[in-house]
Amino acid sequence: MKPKEVNQRQFVQSLARGCNVLAKVCKSETQLSLSELAKKSDLSIGAIQRLTYTLENIGLLERDPRTKRFRTGPRMISLALAIVHNMELTKVAHPFMQALSDEIGEVVGLGAMEGDSIILVDIINTQQPKQLLNINRNTGAIIPPHATSTGKAILAFLPESRVEAILSSQGLAKLTDNTIASAKALKRELDLVRERGFATAFDENVYGMTTIGAPVRDSSGDVIAAMTIMIPSMKISKKKFVSAFRKKVVKTADKISAAMGYLKDADK
Amino acid sequence: MKPKEVNQRQFVQSLARGCNVLAKVCKSETQLSLSELAKKSDLSIGAIQRLTYTLENIGLLERDPRTKRFRTGPRMISLALAIVHNMELTKVAHPFMQALSDEIGEVVGLGAMEGDSIILVDIINTQQPKQLLNINRNTGAIIPPHATSTGKAILAFLPESRVEAILSSQGLAKLTDNTIASAKALKRELDLVRERGFATAFDENVYGMTTIGAPVRDSSGDVIAAMTIMIPSMKISKKKFVSAFRKKVVKTADKISAAMGYLKDADK
DNA sequence: TTTATTGTATCGTAATGCGTTATAAATATA
DNA sequence: TATATTTATAACGCATTACGATACAATAAA
């Protein structure tokens, strides 16, 4: 119908539409009705009906028998668990992150490269019941590479070509006044990160969040992720923050790298 | 093409096919090539090409640029993490399970109802390097309800109609000599479980695995999951196993129920 | 090099999935 | 309870979409 010039003759519309519907339901905290789905996807009601019928039939979606609303189906949950399970990184990293978080009493996160995106794959939340400003990110969130310590800690150690690919696919959106939104400035920043071995971000992604991150390597020495400490900016000055945590982030990230099989002094 | 009398005119073939392909790739430990996928799915090579092209295009699949093999894409990973994140049960249960496992030095698992399936949603593995028989189940695994302590601990506390629905959808496969494969015998077993408050399974699912499980309830009092202790059967006699662990399973499962908001003595 | 294997593009066809419309059920309003 | 409104299901006719087959290109093996 619509002039989808994105593609040629290889694109199967109904699959893409169906997957989008599936994703909508799975990501939604609440259950969704047929008509809600139709509105959110702007597809005809008939289309949604067929797609959901199919997805339900193969177990990826499920329907509350009372309310007739859709929710994530058993097969989808099984699949999700299998995927997460296959990510050995989180399994390896989690205990180290937990230990660090316990020690310093702050939020610790882990962002990993998946394709050209950086995804928050694990987070240790410190449950201080009602803090003024709470850091509240969920696993699965896609993280802007240029505006986070996680992102910069990864980018700094990737080959030029990968960095360009990632940035061109993700863009350099100006998220706050402090966001480094120019390619040139970012390049300089990455040089600094490389030199120091860790990255920082002061209110660059969202206002009020200060973070410091260090890269994590796999057994072949490639940087595949970064671990971060996140705190509310008002809690401490930049200087104190960096001096207090720089060694701890790097040390913990290095431990994770080691546990992933990376031998620090193998060469160079 | 094939006489798919399963359905009428509402079933959209290409969506179902595409999702199956997607699931195959995501569940596979290794990356899959186009032709491998074609064989495994028995679809024409052209079909697989279109489906994977689409899935890749929308980020659910990803292709290794060198080998051209498919793997789980960033958007799929993001989705999986979001799904798992939304499952508050595991978040709540995990620390209790960890504590129990630490205390007794055995494997502890958690199986939850998802639709008419019971899925292993979390497991604490005790990493005894090279034990003779290692319990090795992965999260995401679908668990036979009638042949496991997890399953029986759940079934015993569900309304009759749900039990029937589950059993008729899952069957009563004879998995070992000890499997309770008759509906009558199972009913008697479930009576016993209800009476004692926990379920056992001695080599009923796979040979060599003995388990004991207790139900977990949510805030509305419904049984939604069960927690199990799993050990290699040769390690201990049935009697000793039950007497050693019966109180611990129930107690820990109760703690989880309480943390889920269940008030034990609300009524009755 | 040749040969096998695997991935990509093309093409004509009809079956598949499309949006619309009609019916039924459920929920809200009076 | 009756009426209006929203929501879900089913039917249908048409054009597009996805189909399998085949031919071509690229890569890997020998």
Q: How far is the CA of B77 from the C1' of C14 (A)?
A: 38
* Between B29 and B210, residue with greater pLDDT: B210
Q: Where are the alpha helices (DSSP H) in A60-159?
A: 74-86, 88-104, 149-155
> What length does chain B have?
268
Q: How far is the CA of A74 from the C1' of C22 (A)?
A: 34
Out of B16, B54, B76, name the one closest to residue A16 (CB). Answer: B54
| pLDDT tens column, A90-107 | 878 988 898 899 899 899
Instruction: Work out the average pLDDT over B48-71.
Output: 88
User: b/e per residue, B76-108, with b = 16+ CB within 10 A?
Assistant: bbbbbbbbbbbbebbebbeebbeebbeebebbb
**In the prediction, which pLDDT does A142 show?**
87
Secondary structure (3-state) at A226: strand
| Residue B12 CB lies within 7 Å of the nucleic strand D | no
**In the prediction, which pLDDT does B5 show?**
37
| pLDDT tens column, A105-134 | 899 999 998 878 898 988 887 765 444 445
Instruction: Work out the average pLDDT over A168-191.
Output: 92
Interchain pair A54, B18: CB under 8 A:
no
Q: How many CA atoms lie within 13 A of B11 on its CB side?
A: 11
**Which of A1-15, A180-194, A254-268, B30-44 shows the lowest mean pLDDT across its residues?**
A1-15
What are the phi and psi torsion angles at B107 (to 5°)? -75, 135
Residue B173 in contact with residue B144, Cβ under 8 Å?
yes
Q: How far is the CA of B97 from the C1' of C19 (A)?
A: 52
The protein residue nearest nucleotide D12, judged by CA to C1', is B9
Q: How far apart are CA A80 and CA B27, in angstroms?
A: 9
CA distance B136 to chain A (A): 13
Q: How far apart are CA A174 and CA A137, in angstroms?
A: 20
Q: Is B5 on the interface with A (CB under 8 A)?
A: no
Q: Is B23 on the interface with A (CB under 8 A)?
A: yes
| pLDDT tens column, B122-180 | 888 776 544 444 556 678 888 999 999 999 999 999 988 889 888 888 889 999 999 99
CA distance B216 to chain A (A): 18
Q: Is B144 on the interface with A (CB under 8 A)?
A: no
Q: Using CA coordinates, name the residue in chain B closest to A57.
A: B11
Taking 60 as the threshold, does the pLDDT of residue B120 lie above it?
yes
**In the prediction, which pLDDT does A7 show?**
45
* Between B136 and B187, residue with greater pLDDT: B187
| pLDDT tens column, B21-47 | 999 899 887 888 888 888 888 888 888
Q: Using CA coordinates, name the residue in chain B closest to A81.
A: B140
Q: How far is the CA of A1 from the C1' of D16 (A)?
A: 9
Q: Is A82 on the interface with B (CB under 8 A)?
A: yes
**In the prediction, which pLDDT does B249 show?**
96
Percent of chain B with pLDDT over 90: 42
**In the prediction, which pLDDT does B18 show?**
92
The protein residue nearest nucleotide D20, judged by CA to C1', is B44
**Whole-number mean pLDDT of chain B?**
85
**In the prediction, which pLDDT does A149 show?**
97
Interchain pair A27, B82: CB under 8 A:
yes
Q: Where are the alpha helices (DSSP H) in A171-231?
A: 183-196
Mutation target vs A (from B15, B58, B76; most A CBs, 10 A cutoff): B15
**In the prediction, which pLDDT does B180 show?**
95
Taking 50 as the threshold, does the pLDDT of residue A139 lie above it?
yes
Taking 80 as the threshold, does the pLDDT of residue B1 lie above it?
no
**Which of A16-30, B12-26, B127-141 shows the lowest mean pLDDT across its residues?**
B127-141
What percent of the residues of chain A are helix, what percent strand, and what percent coil, each to the nearest 5? 45, 20, 35
**In the prediction, which pLDDT does A109 show?**
93
Taking 70 as the threshold, does the pLDDT of residue A46 lie above it?
yes
**What is the 3-class SS of chain B, one letter each residue?**
CCCCCCCCCCCCHHHHHHHHHHHHHHHCCCCECHHHHHHHHCCCHHHHHHHHHHHHHCCCEEECCCCCCEEECHHHHHHHHHHHHHCHHHHHHHHHHHHHHHHHCCEEEEEEEECCEEEEEEEECCCCCCCCCCCCCCCCCEECHHHCHHHHHHHCCCCHHHHHHHHHHHCCCCCCCCCCCCHHHHHHHHHHHHHHCCEEEECCCCCCEEEEEEEEECCCCCEEEEEEEEEEHHHCCHHHHHHHHHHHHHHHHHHHHHHCCCCCCCCC
Q: Is B60 on the interface with A (CB under 8 A)?
A: yes
**In the prediction, which pLDDT does A194 show?**
95
**In the prediction, which pLDDT does A226 show?**
96
Q: Is B99 on the interface with A (CB under 8 A)?
A: no
Cβ contacts (< 8 Å) between A58 and chain B: which residues?
A: 16, 19-20
Residue B249 tokens read as 């399973």
| pLDDT tens column, A195-233 | 999 999 999 998 888 999 999 998 778 899 999 999 988
Interchain pair B15, A84: CB under 8 A:
no
Helices and strands, counts by H and E, chain A: 9, 8
CA angle B106, B112, B115 (to 5 degrees): 155
Taking 70 as the threshold, does the pLDDT of residue A247 lie above it?
yes
**In the prediction, which pLDDT does B114 show?**
82
| Residue B17 CB lies within 7 Å of the nucleic strand D | yes
**B112: which strand partners?**
B119, B225
Mutation target vs B (from A8, A9, A12; most B CBs, 10 A cutoff): A12
Q: Which pLDDT band, with edges at 50, 70 and 90, does A268 fall under?
A: very low
Q: How far apart are CA A50 and CA A37, in angstroms?
A: 12
Q: How far is the CA of A45 from the C1' of D5 (A)?
A: 17
Q: Which pLDDT band, with edges at 50, 70 and 90, does A267 fall under?
A: very low
Instruction: Work out the average pLDDT over A140-162.
Output: 92
Interchain pair B84, A84: CB under 8 A:
yes
Which nucleotide is the nearest neighbour of B52, by CA and C1'?
C7
Instruction: Work out the average pLDDT over A44-73.
Output: 88
DSSP A162: H
Q: Which pLDDT band, with edges at 50, 70 and 90, does B100 fall under?
A: very high
Q: How far is the CA of A43 from the C1' of C19 (A)?
A: 10
